[in-house]
Amino acid sequence: MNIQQKTAVAAIALLAVLAISPPPAEAGGRLRIDQVFTELGPPDEILIVGRNFDCGGDSDSDSDSDSDSDSDSGAGPELKVKLAGLPGTLTVVESSATHIIAVLPADLAAGDYGLTVRCGGKRDTFDWTFTPPGCTDCFTCADNDPCADAAPNSLFPHCDPQAYIRCDIFVGCRIMDCLKGLKWDQDFQTCIPI
């Protein structure tokens, strides 16, 4: 998929998520992050879907609060969105009880980040992976061989969604086909129904 196709898919996913009515926020309930989506911009943004993101009336009783100033967050003095390993908090451009949209740093490197949302004394964390525009999220053995630096038997997504790459100890980069009616799922490391 090229970047325009990925952006279109992300936009459709965003609309679908916003159209699905999540369970109502529970008054005084536990803050919970359910899903996280990336919307490639500029600016690049992150959509956080969950529950109990409304901070109205809560007092910040979080005993391990960090030194980020409340003014770093654009959604009020108590809502904070932070990526582990980065200074400060993300700028929140929109929020409700069930979703948050925040701006990502322009120079954010690809990788895994611990995402934390704080709302008064409540908080939740989420393991989130960021892939910036231009990063390849699929491989072919001819053009971009992922096996050069990979361990034997490592598995990678092929650019054909009904195939994957297995790093064979003897052959190297080897394209494997899923059975008819199946597609590769990198998260589960197996072929799943289309």
Task: Provide the CATH number for the domain around residue 120.
Answer: 2.60.40.10
| Token couple for 114 | 């611990």
Same-domain check for residues 122 and 174? no
pLDDT in tens, 47-97: 999 988 887 643 333 334 444 443 343 444 479 999 998 999 999 999 999
Does residue 42 share a domain with residue 108? yes
What secondary structure does DSSP assign to the chain, as a single string?
A: --HHHHHHHHHHHHHHHHHS-PPPPPTTPPPEEEEEEEE-SSSPEEEEEEE----TT-----TT--S--GGG-TT-SSEEEEETTSSS-PEEEEE-SSEEEEEPPTTPPSEEEEEEEEETTEEEEEEEEE--TT---SBBTTTB-GGGGSPTT-EEEBSSTTEEEEEETTTEEEEEEPPTTEEEETTTTEEEE-
Whether residues 125 and 162 share a domain: the answer is no
Does 109 lie in the same domain as 16?
yes
Query: Same domain for 8 and 80?
Result: yes
Range of the domain at 179: 146-193
Query: The pTM is what?
Result: 0.52
Q: Answer yes or no: do 150 and 126 share one domain.
A: no
Q: Indicate the pLDDT class of residue 42, thresholds 50, 70 and 90.
A: confident
Of 102, 130, 158, the domain-final residue: 130
What digits encode the pLDDT tens for the residues 161-194?
Answer: 889 999 998 889 999 999 999 998 888 899 999 8
pLDDT digits (tens, 9 = 90+) for 123-158: 999 988 776 655 557 888 877 788 888 888 899 898
Q: Is residue 185 domain-shared with residue 107, that is, in the same domain?
A: no
Is 155 inside a domain boundary? yes
